[in-house]
Amino acid sequence: MGKKSDKKLLTMRIIRGIMVAIGGFITAYGLEAVLIPNNVSDGGVTGLSIVGSQWTGLQLGILITLLNIPFIILGYKQIGKSFAIYSIIGIATLAISTNLMHHIPTIVQGDTLLVTVVGGIIIGFGMGLALRNGGALDGIDMLAVLLAKRLPFGTSDLILFLNMFVFIIVSTVFGFQGAIMSAIAYFIASKVIHIIEEGLSGTKTFTIITDKPEELAQTIYERLQRGSTFKTVQGSYSKEDFQEVSCVVNRLEESKMKEIIQEIDPKAFVTIVDVSEVRGGNFTKHVH
């Protein structure tokens, strides 16, 4: 791997880290400028942190950090180092930003419909931006992705199920109306996340035509614990034979997969296709 490829890979990682941090900042703004001043919460670990802050008086940023630590450790062990690092960047930015923005002016107040729509769009955009670039801002999303691999339910179904308990807890602080508004805001946020990140629960197929199929497949297995398939294809113009590597990954592994391809063979021809459903075989990770 040449110096030019190394530099490009490093630049790509830095840009992703910056985008994840921006996502954390935007989410914090949505919380502090729209939702929290109107007694509306978020879902997931952030929602639990908001409730905990109201109960104990502790700063929201401190609780966001503490409650997400177990999920970051879980993400590191089950999804990978890169995902954990980007998630730490995003969660740290979210935590720090909520403290810095605690007294900023509220941009929407009183109108319940407007609060839920504007707040949901802002935090959904921030969370989606982080997910698109290989990180997460909330531990519940990480947990849902991991549970979906072991249970006969989709990720979006599990996120909704887990957040039902969160909004029950939210109702003890913000009341029933506050919990309903929080659920609506979170629903809107989830739709925005889907648009920005192209769907949390789906999978993608990478088809790679490369001169280094063995090395690429081995690296994918070592870093993502995903198996690949080989196929010989022929160029219609050159009549040359090429090796095609195919691999199915979940969306949280997409950015890492792109990094691997860039590292092993920057000149590889890559197509990425959305997969609505995966059946048969063994899509779970190969754990030693």
Supply the DSSP string of the chain, one letter for each residue.
--HHHHHHHHHHHHHHHHHHHHHHHHHHHHIIIIIGGGT---SHHHHHHHHHHHHH---HHHHHHHHHHHHHHHHHHHT-HHHHHHHHHHHHHHHHHHHHTTTSPPSS-S-HHHHHHHHHHHHHHHHHHHHHTT--S-HHHHHHHHHHTTSSS-HHHHHHHHHHHHHHHHHHHHHHHHHHHHHHHHHHHHHHHHHHHT-SS-EEEEEEEES-HHHHHHHHHHHH----EEEEEE-TTT--EEEEEEEEEEGGGHHHHHHHHHHH-TT-EEEEEEES---SS--S----
Point out the least confidently predicted range of 65-69, 83-87, 167-171, 231-235: 231-235
* pLDDT higher than 90, residue 126: yes
* pLDDT higher than 60, residue 92: yes
* pLDDT higher than 60, residue 50: yes
Q: What is the pLDDT of residue 156?
A: 62
* pLDDT higher than 80, residue 186: yes
* pLDDT higher than 90, residue 250: no
Q: What is the pLDDT of residue 154?
A: 64
Point out the least confidently predicted range of 88-102, 178-192, 193-207, 228-242: 193-207
* pLDDT higher than 70, residue 255: yes
Q: What is the pLDDT of residue 287?
A: 47
* pLDDT higher than 70, residue 162: yes
Q: Which fold has domain 203-275?
A: Alpha-Beta Plaits (3.30.70)
Give ranges for CATH 3.30.70.120 in the chain: 203-275
**Residue 21 pLDDT class (50, 70, 90 cuts):** very high
Q: What is the pLDDT of residue 278?
A: 66
* pLDDT higher than 60, residue 136: yes
Mean pLDDT value across the chain: 85
Q: What is the pLDDT of residue 30?
A: 94
Q: What is the pLDDT of residue 204?
A: 85
